[in-house]
Amino acid sequence: MAVTTMAKAINAGLRKALENDPKVLLMGEDIGKLGGVFRVTDGLQKDFGEARVIDSPLAESGIVGTAVGLAMRGFRPVVEIQFDGFVFPAFDQIVTQVAKHNARSAGRTPMPITIRIPYGGGIGAVEHHSESPEAYFAHTAGLRVISPSNPADAFAMVQQAIACDDPVVFFEPKRRYWDKADVDESLDLATAPSPFRARVVRPGTSVTVVCYGPMVRTCLEAASAAAAEGIELEVVDLRSMSPLDVDTVAASVRRTGRLVVVHEAPVFLGVGAELAARITETCFYSLEAPVLRVGGYHTPYPPARLEEDYLPDLDRVLDAVDRSLAF
């Protein structure tokens, strides 16, 4: 067990995957000699060579298209999209080829591709560097969409994504890259929790707060603040947006009677909208208040100097909790 950052935990997970399976390849812009803009792939090209850690041209569609061909030849490509806002040149490849080829070939040609995308705001970046496009991909059948919230999950989940025979979009919360926590690098993945299941990260009895990725730390901080006033929030880390683990959330809501969903992406037609609908259908007679959502506004992501006004924070989470309890 060692204390490390999320960025280094993902690096360690990629290293394990490269060591354990010669069919695993990494591709992306500046991931080799530079080690990626966030240094997540630092040192991997030096240790595994240019044939397995590949510096690609500046062409996202070409990167993912090449991964499709490699997957068809039995490889497990892991591609890095440098920033969230740059994934859209590859959007056609992802939703048209990656997501559908397994079904189109009646299961004869699986697409074990992992698409790593640093996402979300909070680092003061310029336009196209702070977006949360996860709902686009969660809406597309055939893709699995997950996001870790801490270094230990990041280490395990990136390896589980690579081992998955389905394509996985792996969203990395970039403002949590430097968060530190214990990571057990001897972890046996066979005994690790599924990356496609949610997890209760703080038990409580007053209100269920569901979140994922960068918002988990914010919601845990909100839970600590609420506890000082005698309000016990149950915080659920969703971890997977597709598939959506409604059962774990529903079990929590049946205990608390209330639900607040929190994410950085705009509330309008976001993951929280689907979860609110599913919980209302499933837990209607257990709910003491309407399901509330906290998220970004339905506007283009603002300039860096305004992003703290855009992103959900502790006060906005607690305001929603108060509104739920007052209903």
Our answer to whether residue 263 is catalytic in this structure is: no
208 and 292 Cβ atoms separated by less than 8 Å: no
Q: Which of 189, 213, 188, 190 is nearest to 201 (CA)?
A: 213
Radius of gyration in angstroms for the set of CA atoms belonging to the chain, rounded to a whole number: 19
Contacts of 118 (CB under 8 A, 6+ apart): 38, 81, 82, 83, 84, 172, 173, 174, 177
- Tell me the C-alpha distance between 213 and 33, whole Å: 28
Q: Which two tokens mark 228?
A: 């000082």
180 and 211 Cβ atoms separated by less than 8 Å: no
Contacts of 303 (CB under 8 A, 6+ apart): 127
- Tell me the C-alpha distance between 71 and 22, whole Å: 13
DSSP letters for 142-156: T-EEE--SSHHHHHH
SS3 1: coil
Catalytic one of 101, 129, 139, 298: 129
* Count of Cβ atoms closer than 10 Å to residue 250 Cβ: 18
Tokens 């599913």 -> residue: 278
Catalogue the active-site residues: 129
